[in-house]
């Protein structure tokens, strides 16, 4: 039996911004109808596979909160909202398309070159990664030997997983799909038990 703390990481359901290919980091966005269905599916999946979960944490942004609420109701777990689990805030670049961020603003180039680069009014990659990994470590420490559910955001999750597992937040190799499930152990050493599981979303 695994006596390590297991973090079950869940990305929020689909949003209009996901469909439009625009960046909503700190922008508070609701789920689409499909996103609501995805949330119900992932709640059922988690209840069937991980009914022993001891706690449920989520970003306080609406899209994560709504996803987590479906899980909370299905598992009868209290929902703990944590602003430290929020998405990467791009400041003045919020609402720009991924294409614009890549081709006009060279965001990923800047991130690679300078981890302290922050768009006007936004966070730097180092700040996001530190904030998010600190939150995951704090949550894991508070629940020794237990399974904890964490509902958060694609960008911040990718950066945290990159930092923990690859020593590099900037590669974006580990991007999760909407309402995908990933299992992570942080101590004694970071380890992925599963990644981007989406079988429960078939047909949605």
Catalytic residue from among 14, 45, 50, 87: 87
Of the CA atoms within 13 Å of residue 69, those in its CB half-sphere come to 12
12 counts as catalytic: yes
In sequence order, the 6+-apart residues with CB closer than 8 A to the CB of 158 are 172, 173, 174, 175, 176
146 counts as catalytic: no
Residue 123 — φ and ψ, nearest 5°? Answer: -100, 155
Catalytic residue from among 12, 45, 153, 200: 12
Burial, 76: exposed, middle or buried (Cβ in 10 Å; 0-12, 13-18, 19+)?
exposed
Q: Which residues are catalytic?
A: 12, 87
């Amino acid at each position: 039996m695994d006596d390590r703390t297991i973090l079950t990481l869940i990305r929020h359901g689909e949003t209009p911004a996901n469909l439009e290919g625009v960046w909503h980091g700190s922008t508070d966005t609701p789920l689409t109808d499909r996103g609501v269905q995805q949330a119900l599916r992932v709640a059922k999946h988690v209840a069937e596979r991980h009914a022993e979960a001891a706690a449920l944490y989520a970003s306080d942004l609406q899209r994560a909160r709504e996803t987590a609420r479906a899980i909370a109701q299905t598992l009868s777990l209290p929902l703990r909202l944590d602003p430290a689990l929020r998405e990467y805030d791009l400041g003045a670049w919020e609402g720009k398309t991924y294409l614009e961020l890549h081709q006009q603003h060279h965001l990923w180039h800047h991130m690679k070159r300078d981890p302290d680069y922050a768009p006007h009014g936004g966070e730097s990659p180092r700040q996001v990664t530190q904030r998010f990994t600190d939150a995951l470590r704090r949550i894991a420490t508070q629940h020794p030997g237990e399974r904890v559910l964490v509902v958060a955001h694609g960008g911040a999750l990718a950066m945290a997983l990159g930092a923990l597992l690859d020593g590099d937040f900037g590669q974006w190799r580990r991007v999760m799909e909407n309402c995908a499930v990933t299992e992570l152990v942080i101590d004694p050493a970071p380890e992925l038990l599963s990644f981007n599981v989406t079988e429960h979303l078939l047909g949605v």
